[in-house]
Amino acid sequence: MSKIIDTVTDLAKPILAPLGLELWDAEFVKEAGYYYLRVYIDSAKGVSIEDCETVSRALDPKLDEYDALFPEAGYTFEVSSAGAERKLTRPGDFERFLDSLVELKTYKPKNGKREHIGTLKAYNDGDVTLDIKGETFEFTKAEVANVRLRIQI
């Protein structure tokens, strides 16, 4: 799968840069028996449906040249915004959103629950520190299932 994502990343970046967009993430997953290639884009000014359509139309023919990378069953290609409650995965994501409200999910319950909402205070090689209602909680890389931005209304 990594070769697919690496190829998609290499193809997408030169398309996105002149449009003032950046690649947030890409995934190739099997869901309910079907394969999906998803490209998530971002921009400081936000991402419109037109941005997604432009990227899709430019990237789709490039991907066709690499069909040998994909399973014979084919795949559905989607381009979308990273979203306001995007998943944080890379060290740079965590650095960019320090002091932001996040939702952290653990594999097993910690302090009696698997979902923890707090302010992101630190990230160190997969370990995450949150401030939850004035208390500091540390989660090891092995405990953390995922971390997403959380929008508070």
The pLDDT tens digits for 15-60 are: 999 999 999 999 999 999 999 999 999 998 999 999 999 999 999 9
Whether the pLDDT of residue 1 is over 70: the answer is: no
Sheet with 135-139, edge to edge strand ranges: 87-88, 144-149, 101-110, 113-124, 127-132, 135-139
Model-level pTM greater than 0.85? Answer: no
Whether the pLDDT of residue 71 is over 90: the answer is: no
CB burial of 103-134 (b: ≥16 within 10 Å; e: otherwise) equals bbebeeebeeeeebebbbbebeeeebbbeeee
> What are the structural domain ranges in the chain?
2-81, 87-149
Is the domain spanning 87-149 CATH 2.30.30.100? The answer is yes
Task: Quote the percentage of the chain above a pLDDT of 70.
Answer: 99
In the chain, the amino acid numbered 101 is: L
Whether the pLDDT of residue 152 is over 90: the answer is: no
Whether the pLDDT of residue 70 is over 90: the answer is: no
Q: Which CATH class is domain 2-81?
A: alpha beta
